Amino acid sequence: MAFDCTLSREQEMVRETVRAFAEDVLKPRAAALDRTREFPHDNYRRAAALNLTGMMVPEAYGGAGFDAVSYVIAIEEVSRACASTGVVLSVNNSLFCGPILKYGSEEQKRRYLVPHARGERIGAYCLTEPGSGSDAAALRTSAVRRGDRYVLSGNKVFVTNGVAAHTFIVYATIDAKLRHRGISAFIVERDFPGLRTGKPEHKMGITASGSVEIVLEACEVPAGNLLGAEGEGFKIAMNTLDGGRIGIAAQALGIGAAALEESLAYSRSRQAFGAPIAQLQAIQWKLADMATELEAARLLAYRAAWARDHLERYSLEASMAKLFASEACMRAAKEGVQIHGGYGYINEYTVERLFRDAKITEIYEGTSEIQRLVIAKEILKGGPA
């Protein structure tokens, strides 16, 4: 089957309903959430009513059974109104439900996937540690088998949703010397003994996304909560990130689209030298570049989403989409501030928040450098060098 970028009627309807929801419910709250840094519990609950918490999970497991292109559309629309809520949903969908659906046992699916896909619970993903980010295989959190349990010890940082999550997928190693071959994935409930959260991170942007340190002090996890096999964790983590990157590309599209929208409106109304600044060619060129790059990014994201639904491997497509969309988003946010002049630097103007929100898309779920690394590796594969 070939990639076709015309949207189906259902995909159009997803855009319509999520946009209405985002405009009416999420957008009016976004500035206050940015200020208070409170986790958007009510947004999450209401998103769950639209089935936005388990979009690609089959209905039999509490999800909506939709395709990845619809997922991109929905996360873009949510993020256009509130980027924090965008990543909160993306993490639950891609980084939590995704791997349990793919690698989980039937029992794990019933126990964990169903309530998280339905949005009755919130999931999180714990890979990064103080000493390992891009080099995830260097993680130190240990997992020691004791009878019918594993005992996990270590620290995880920057855990999105961490302040509110009920359940965490924690990556730990059964033997650090094995590097990536020792890494295993565990489903850890918040109230398992030995798990506690640290202090919330004070972030530049997406301030309401509940990032926190997770401390595991001899945390006891039933053996039945091992996700996949021992040593399979690194593969699960990387495969999960392929899907997650499509979600972050979509988040970037949303932030970028909002920057463009704000800039169009502002440049039409702001007068300078006797005319709206939208009539200045210098401003028009910025707007034209923003619109073009975002549209290109959108098509890359749709293609990556299509590849996820139809191909065995889609790392290349996902990395390209994430890299290009996040950088297009950052440029759009930067030019958006520039178009607003001094007002763009002031908190009352939405672009100020968008500028702060945009930057993270170039960092998490693989920095731009790591995306380039993945892309280069894929395109050089099989050749002599």
Partner 1 sequence: MKSLVLVKQVPSADSPFRLNSSGTWIEEGNLTFGLNDYDRYALEALLKLKDAGKVAEVVALTVGPERAATVLRTCLATGADRAIHVKDAALEGSDPLSLAKVIKAAIQGEGFSLIMAGLQADDDNYGQIGPLLARLLDRPSATAAMGLELRDGTTVRVEREMENNRLLVVDLTLPAVITVQTGINEPRYASLKGIMAAKKKEIRTVALKDLGLDAAEVGGRAARLRTVRLASPPKGKGAEILKGPADEIARELVKRIREKTGVI
Ligand X SMILES: Cc1cc2nc3c(=O)[nH]c(=O)nc-3n(C[C@H](O)[C@H](O)[C@H](O)COP(=O)(O)OP(=O)(O)OC[C@H]3O[C@@H](n4cnc5c(N)ncnc54)[C@H](O)[C@@H]3O)c2cc1C
Active site members: 365
By CB under 8 A, is residue 367 in contact with partner 1? no
Residue that the structure tokens 């990157």 belong to: 245
| 133: partner contacted, choices ligand X, partner 1, none (Cβ within 5-8 A by kind) | ligand X
Indicate whether 64 belongs to the interface with partner 1 (CB under 8 A). yes
Q: Which stretch binds partner 1 (CB under 8 A): 11-19, 218-226, 315-323, 337-345?
A: 11-19
Residue 170: strand pairing partners? 126, 186
- Residue 227 as a binder of ligand X (CB under 6 A): the answer is no
Is 60 among the residues that bind partner 1 (CB under 8 A)?
no
Pairing of strands 226-227, 183-189: antiparallel
For residue 17, state whether it binds partner 1 (rule: CB under 8 A).
Answer: yes
Per DSSP, the three-state class of 100 is helix
Query: For partner 1, which stretch binds (CB under 8 A), given 47-55, 160-168, 203-211, 319-327?
Result: 47-55
Maximum CA extent, the chain: 79
Tell me the β-bridge partners of 146: 149
Choose among partner 1, ligand X, none what residue 364 binds, the Cβ cut-off being 5 to 8 Å by kind.
Answer: ligand X
Task: Out of 203, 264, 291, 343, point to the residue binding ligand X (CB under 6 A).
Answer: 203
Q: What is the dihedral of CA 180, 122, 85, 22, to 10 degrees?
A: 130
Tokens of 245: 């990157």
Count of residues in contact with partner 1, rule CB under 8 A? 19
The piece of 46-54, 187-195, 271-279, 349-357 that touches partner 1 (CB under 8 A) is: 46-54
Pick 8 or 36: Cβ nearer ligand X:
36
Does an H or E element contain 142, and which?
Answer: strand 142-146
Cα–Cα distance measured from residue 75 to residue 52, given in angstroms and rounded to the nearest whole number: 9
Sequence-separated (6 or more) residues with CB below 8 Å from residue 332 = 255, 256, 259, 260, 290, 293, 294, 358
The answer to the question of residue 84 lying near ligand X (CB under 6 A) is no
Residue 70 binds to partner 1 (criterion: CB under 8 A): yes
Binding segment for partner 1 (CB under 8 A), chosen from 59-67, 83-91, 137-145, 236-244, is 59-67
Q: Which of 44, 61, 112, 125 binds ligand X (CB under 6 A)?
A: 125
Question: Which of 78, 83, 159, 283 touches ligand X (CB under 6 A)?
Answer: 159
Q: Which of 299, 275, 298, 278 is nearest to 288 (CA)?
A: 278
Distance of alpha carbon 76 from alpha carbon 63, whole angstroms = 19
Minimum distance of partner 1 from residue 55's CB (angstroms): 6
Phi, psi of 195 (to 5 degrees): -105, 130
Told to check if 16 binds partner 1 by CB under 8 A, we report yes
- Tell whether residue 179 is a contact of ligand X (CB under 6 A): no
Residue type, 319: S
**Residue 211 sits in the site that holds partner 1 (CB under 8 A):** no
Contacting residue, 126, 297, 300, 332, with ligand X by CB under 6 A: 126
Residues 105 and 229: their CA atoms lie apart, in Å, by 11
Residue 81 binds partner 1, judged by CB under 8 A: no
Alpha carbon distances (Å) from 245 to 77, 134, 155, 232, 250: 16, 14, 24, 20, 8
133 binds ligand X (CB under 6 A): yes
**Are the C-beta atoms of residues 289 and 297 closer than 8 Å to each other?**
no
Binding site for ligand X (CB under 6 A): 91, 125-128, 133-134, 158-160, 203, 211, 360, 363-365, 367, 369-370, 373
